[in-house]
Structures are given as C-alpha cells and as structure tokens.
C-alpha cells in the first residue's frame, strides 16, 4: 500500500520521495529552486512543532515554514 501524505504529516526521522507539489507557480518555482521536486528523496530532520520543518536532501538541510511544507506531497518509505 502506498502512503501519500503531506510533509506536515510526517514525523522526525521518516523518509520519503516527493510525488507532487500542490501550489501555485510561484510556490512550485521556489521549491524547485531549493531542490525539492517530484522524485526527490527527503528525510524529515525536525517535524516543525513548533518552528519550521527541517528536511534533508542528501547533505543539504532546508528549513520550510508550515504553509510551504503542507504543499509538498510525499510517498512514505516503509
């Protein structure tokens, strides 16, 4: 069973693959510029409660606000 969830529904330490970005052109472009695109493997470093979500893409760490994080749809790796 595939588990597609919003990034905001993932816990610290969970891994996944970005499957979609649900946002307008500007939000998509911003995330693509940060290296977050469909097919990208990510790890949740900090779950954003409170504060920003911090995700790892390879050796890079990116902080995302809750509004942006909820636009990212991820397939959880089990």
- Note the pLDDT tens digit of each residue in 24-72: 999 999 999 999 999 999 999 999 878 899 999 999 999 999 999 999 9
Q: Which domain holds residue 28?
A: 4-76
> What CATH code is carried by the domain that includes residue 46?
2.30.30.90
What SS3 state is found at 30? helix
Q: Can you give the pTM of this predicted structure?
A: 0.91
CA 2 to each of CA 24, 25, 59: distance values in angstroms, whole numbers, following the listed order: 25, 27, 26
Rg (the chain; Cα; Å): 11
Q: Mean per-residue pLDDT for 8-13?
A: 94
Q: Mean per-residue pLDDT for 1-11?
A: 88
CB 23 within 8 A of CB 73: no
Confidence class of residue 12 from pLDDT cuts 50, 70 and 90?
very high
Domain tally, the chain: 1
Q: Is the pLDDT of residue 77 over 90?
A: no
């Amino acid at each position: 069973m595939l588990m597609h969830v919003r990034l905001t529904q993932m816990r610290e330490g969970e891994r996944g693959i970005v499957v979609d970005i649900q946002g307008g052109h500007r939000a998509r472009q911003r995330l693509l510029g940060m290296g977050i695109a469909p097919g990208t493997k990510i790890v949740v470093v900090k779950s954003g409660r409170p504060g920003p979500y911090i995700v790892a893409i390879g050796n890079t760490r990116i902080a995302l606000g809750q509004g942006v994080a909820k636009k990212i749809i991820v397939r959880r790796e089990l």
